[in-house]
Amino acid sequence: MNVVAFLGGRAWIWSFIATALVWLATVAFTGGTGGGQILTAALSFAIFTVIVGIGQMFVITTGPGNVDLSIPATMALSGAVTTKLMDTQNEMIALGVVVALGIGIGVGLGNYLLIRLLRIPPIIATLSASFLVQSTAIAYGRGLRIKPPPLLADFTTAQVAGVPVLAACGIVFTVVMGVVLARTLYGRSVLAVGQNMRAAWLAGINVERTRLFTYVLSAMLAGLAGLLLSGFSGGSSLNMGEEYLLASIAVVVIGGTSVAGGRANVPGIWGAALFLYLLVTMLNTFGASAGLRLILTGLIIIAVITLAGGGEQQKR
């Protein structure tokens, strides 16, 4: 098989190729030292982007205009509520997980109701909802930073042979979500709705129920990520989810998912998340100024997106 044809048919591979290149460039610049530690750090931080990125991927796959901008606020609210609820007690972790998922269900339902009942475009509906959710987090948290339960902190920071335990669990979760997307009725419905909503409806698919489940799924994963991130960072903060607004969208696009809907790449989420972290690490290692880092980051991301799916997107 022609190598170019093989790579062209698998858009997600480009994110891993870009990841390998920036890692090699960083290691070469440092004289071969610290390569393992860089990968460990990348896995440790990328997992949170992967979790919210998978939820965002399902939303974007349902078709043009669908996006969830409430992810950062949901993470902040989940972190604030769960850390206060658990109050450093290990026996409260299970309840904290349930509450984090419950917050996600509530936010996801709210997002969908704004979109469905009020006919508000998803980008406006989820952005408006994020203001309400963030305000609730501010009112509830009141600037308090409560430490997570020791068991949660240990789990989110534990490593085995240099591999973060949380990242290993995230890989298993990614495989499961890949199976859900490709092999289950719900996953195939998401793809069908994204390809042609009317055709999916005519084929007997409950389009609105599929969209509802998708927005709820995205918010649930954001709530879970907020809980885990609070454990990893030693407590919750009201701005803990800010960097995941654009990151959750970037990993979806860089990973090869079509913004036109109907085509998703679950493996590419991991490649894109690692790429984004390692890209910043490389530019910092090179000593690039803040302005230059932003310019180079934008240009490199555009190049990877173009290679990953630009040509195919134009054909759609």
The predicted-structure confidence for 189-241, as pLDDT tens digits, reads as follows 999 999 999 999 999 999 999 999 999 999 999 999 999 999 999 988 888 88
Q: Is a pLDDT exceeding 60 seen at residue 5?
A: no
Name the token pair of 126. 């989820």
Q: Is a pLDDT exceeding 80 seen at residue 143?
A: no
Q: Is a pLDDT exceeding 70 seen at residue 124?
A: yes
Cβ–Cβ under 8 Å, residues 82 and 100: yes
Q: Is a pLDDT exceeding 50 seen at residue 316?
A: no
Q: Show Cβ contacts of residue 94 under 8 Å, excluding neighbours closer than 6 positions.
A: none
Highest mean pLDDT among 3-17, 48-62, 248-262, 281-295: 48-62
Of the pLDDT bands very low, low, confident and very high (cuts 50, 70, 90), residue 139 is confident
pTM of the predicted protein model:
0.90
CATH code assigned to 11-315? 1.10.3470
Mean pLDDT of 245-271: 88
Please, what's the b/e burial string for 171-187 (b: 16 or more CB within 10 A of its CB; e: otherwise)? eebbeebbebbeeeeeb
Name the token pair of 168. 């290993």
Report how far apart, in Å, the C-alpha atoms of 154 and of each of 23, 45, 164, 232, 235 are.
Answer: 27, 15, 11, 8, 13
Mean pLDDT of the chain: 88
Residue-level pLDDT at 49: 95
Beta bridge partners of 159: 164
Cα–Cα distance measured from residue 220 to residue 274, given in angstroms and rounded to the nearest whole number: 23
Q: Is a pLDDT exceeding 80 seen at residue 75?
A: yes
Cα–Cα distance measured from residue 80 to residue 104, given in angstroms and rounded to the nearest whole number: 13
Of the pLDDT bands very low, low, confident and very high (cuts 50, 70, 90), residue 181 is very high
Cα dihedral 105→106→109→115 (10° resolution) = -130
Report how far apart, in Å, the C-alpha atoms of 279 and of each of 203, 215, 285, 304 are.
Answer: 44, 30, 10, 12
Least confident of 26-35, 119-128, 236-245: 26-35
Cα–Cα distance measured from residue 170 to residue 163, given in angstroms and rounded to the nearest whole number: 12
Q: Is a pLDDT exceeding 90 seen at residue 172?
A: yes
Task: Find where tokens 């599929």 sit.
Answer: 210
The residue ranges of every structural domain in the chain are 11-315
Cα–Cα distance measured from residue 84 to residue 98, given in angstroms and rounded to the nearest whole number: 14
Q: Which long-range contacts does 110-117 make (Cβ < 8 Å, 24+ apart)?
A: 111/68, 111/70, 111/215, 111/219, 112/211, 112/212, 112/215, 112/216, 115/211, 115/215, 116/208, 116/211, 116/212
Cβ–Cβ under 8 Å, residues 78 and 104: yes
